[in-house]
């Protein structure tokens, strides 16, 4: 077949594209070209006069020399190399993160054990390993642990510098604001303390929803205590009211806020918190005690007795329940003191209910009986005080002698019942004796005497 071209030198120069085999990539030799001994694949004429390459078995053995095959192998090699590199990098970064957590756990343990210097070294190592291995929020946790170690070691200046640097990077971080607020409060910087406390309350907490509510509540209460210690009562009360409005539905939290309100002299607001706690937990001991104390401070002895009695019953039932430890095992000194106060206030409220001659619905005989009993109790106290301190015993007016000098209480009851209009005068003398004893011998201790003073305070305050 005449192609119109003279055979060129070995290779592909001067060769028509139809003379190149698509399978082996070599020049197809035919006729005189093959006779000349040129290098290539021998071919034959096909049915339509086209050259057909007869690739020898020897030439097929060199398929790896194909450009496509070599490129594919290179790509596969790169993929394997990248996979190995990525796996090694993942192991490396994972190991660094694990070391950061391990050093942090060790630092926390040593900080709890009181070894601040060792904890500081551990947290410093944790910071090195944690660098760029965690999210910014998680990185801040490592930094805050390091700050706590600095404070425990007494390095307040470096801790403050570190916190200020963190504050510049994330001014809305609540934990950073809280630490700065505490440092400002200790340094007496009132303006900065309030600013940072508010920044902590309204900032961003890296926690779940429930924990965020609790953290904000704790921060508000901390700010309340700070203001109370400084004597800023009005601002402290406003913070406490805002805290009450933000309390989540948790009986313990309502009780905590209610107790602070009681201490702040807000029994009605405290009662609202205790009642909310009791709606969530009707048998909550602390809520029952708080409600009883709130009613007691409000002067409602009947409701005070109701809730304080419920509290004592609940405490007894908890003690008898299977699996409950005895009071000696579980009660702290504060709990024992609280129980003693509950019993004392309960006895006062019960005595006030039993002695008050002005209670509605009483007949003259019962009113007289109560007044005479109050007189006997007050007289016994003033006599004991007079003998101890050498003071003169108050003497009743002549109008009261028919009730005060009779032989028995029964005769006094009957005489006073016949002249019930003299009851107020007799009770006024009783209150006078209690006031004299308090002035000379201190406040009453016996619940009955306390109840008399309590009744007198309410009676004199009533127009």
Q: Between residues 103 and 213, which one has the greater pLDDT?
A: 213
Q: In which order are the strands placed within the sheet that holds 28-29? A: 28-29, 41-45, 51-53
Q: Helix, strand, or coil here: 52?
A: strand
**CB-based contacts of 409, cutoff 8 Å, min separation 6:** 369, 372, 373, 376
Instruction: Summarize pLDDT for 166-182 with one digit per residue, the tens.
Output: 888 888 888 889 989 99
Task: Please tell me the predicted confidence (pLDDT) of residue 54.
Answer: 58
Considering the entire predicted model, what is its pTM? 0.68
Task: Please tell me the predicted confidence (pLDDT) of residue 352.
Answer: 94
Query: Would you say residue 328 has pLDDT above 60?
Result: no
Task: Please tell me the predicted confidence (pLDDT) of residue 9.
Answer: 45
The owner of tokens 């660094």 is: 96
Query: Would you say residue 453 has pLDDT above 90?
Result: yes
Task: Please tell me the predicted confidence (pLDDT) of residue 34.
Answer: 47
Q: What is the mean pLDDT of residues 50-73?
A: 61
Would residue 50 count as lying in a domain? Answer: yes
Last residue of some domain: 37, 65, 93? 65
Domain that holds residue 53: 17-65
Under the banding of pLDDT at 50, 70 and 90, the label for residue 57 is: very low
Under the banding of pLDDT at 50, 70 and 90, the label for residue 326 is: very low
Q: What is the mean pLDDT of residues 353-359?
A: 93
Cα–Cα separations (whole angstroms), residue 251 to 227, 269, 284, 463: 25, 15, 8, 39
Query: Would you say residue 12 has pLDDT above 60?
Result: no
Would residue 280 count as lying in a domain? Answer: no
> Closest by alpha carbon to 160, among 189, 190, 184?
184
Would residue 22 count as lying in a domain? Answer: yes
Query: Would you say residue 287 has pLDDT above 70?
Result: yes
Last residue of some domain: 65, 87, 102? 65
Would residue 78 count as lying in a domain? Answer: no
DSSP 344-395: HHHHHHHHHHHH-TT-TT--HHHHHHHHHHHHHHHHHHHHHHHHHHTPPPP-
Between CA 320 and CA 64 the distance in angstroms is 88
Task: Please tell me the predicted confidence (pLDDT) of residue 399.
Answer: 82
Q: What is the DSSP letter of 422?
A: G
Query: Would you say residue 356 has pLDDT above 60?
Result: yes
Would residue 161 count as lying in a domain? Answer: no
Would residue 272 count as lying in a domain? Answer: no
Under the banding of pLDDT at 50, 70 and 90, the label for residue 425 is: very high
Query: Would you say residue 367 has pLDDT above 70?
Result: yes
Would residue 12 count as lying in a domain? Answer: no
Between CA 367 and CA 364 the distance in angstroms is 5
Task: Please tell me the predicted confidence (pLDDT) of residue 18.
Answer: 53
| Domains contained in the chain, number | 2
Would residue 446 count as lying in a domain? Answer: yes
Best-predicted range by mean pLDDT among 61-75, 135-149, 430-444?
A: 430-444
Query: Would you say residue 379 has pLDDT above 90?
Result: yes
């Amino acid at each position: 077949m005449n192609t119109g071209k003279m055979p060129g030198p070995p290779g592909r120069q001067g060769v028509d594209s139809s003379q190149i085999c698509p399978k082996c990539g070599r020049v197809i030799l035919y006729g005189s070209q093959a006779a000349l001994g040129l290098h290539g694949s021998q071919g034959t004429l096909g049915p339509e006069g086209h050259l057909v390459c007869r690739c020898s078995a020897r030439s097929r053995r060199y398929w790896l020399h194909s450009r496509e095959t070599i490129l594919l192998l290179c790509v596969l090699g790169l993929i394997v190399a990248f996979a190995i590199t990525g796996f090694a990098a993942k192991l490396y970064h994972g190991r660094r993160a694990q070391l950061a957590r391990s050093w942090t756990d060790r630092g926390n343990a040593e900080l709890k054990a009181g070894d601040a210097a060792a904890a500081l070294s551990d947290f410093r190592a944790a910071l090195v390993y944690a660098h760029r291995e965690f999210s910014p929020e998680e990185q801040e946790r490592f930094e805050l642990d390091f700050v706590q170690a600095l404070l425990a070691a007494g390095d307040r200046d470096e801790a403050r510098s570190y916190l200020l640097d963190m504050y510049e990077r994330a001014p809305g971080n609540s934990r950073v604001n809280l630490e700065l607020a505490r440092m400002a409060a200790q340094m007496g910087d009132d303006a900065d303390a309030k600013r940072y406390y508010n920044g902590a309350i309204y900032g961003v907490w890296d926690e779940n929803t429930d924990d965020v509510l609790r953290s904000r509540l704790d921060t508000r209460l901390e700010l309340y205590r700070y203001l109370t210690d400084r004597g800023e009562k009005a601002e402290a009360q406003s913070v406490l009211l805002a805290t009450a409005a933000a309390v989540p539905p948790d009986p313990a939290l309502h009780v905590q806020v209610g107790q602070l309100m009681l201490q702040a002299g807000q029994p009605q607001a405290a009662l609202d918190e205790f009642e909310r706690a009791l709606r969530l937990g009707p048998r909550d001991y602390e809520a029952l005690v708080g409600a009883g104390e709130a009613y007691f401070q409000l002067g409602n002895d009947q409701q005070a007795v109701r809730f304080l009695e419920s509290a004592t019953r609940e405490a007894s039932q908890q003690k008898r329940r299977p699996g409950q430890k005895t009071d000696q095992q579980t009660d702290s000194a504060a709990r024992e003191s609280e129980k003693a106060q509950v019993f004392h206030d309960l006895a006062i409220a019960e005595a006030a209910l039993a002695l008050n001659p002005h209670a509605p619905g009483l007949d003259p005989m019962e009113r007289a009986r109560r007044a005479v009993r109050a007189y006997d109790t007050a007289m016994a106290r003033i006599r004991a005080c007079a003998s101890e301190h050498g003071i003169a015993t108050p003497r009743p007016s002549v109008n009261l002698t028919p009730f005060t000098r009779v032989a028995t209480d029964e005769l006094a009851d009957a005489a006073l019942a016949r002249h019930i209009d003299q009851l107020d005068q007799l009770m006024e003398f009783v209150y006078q004796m209690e006031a004299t004893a308090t002035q000379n011998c201190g406040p009453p201790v016996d619940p009955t005497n306390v109840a008399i003073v309590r009744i007198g305070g309410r009676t004199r305050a009533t127009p």
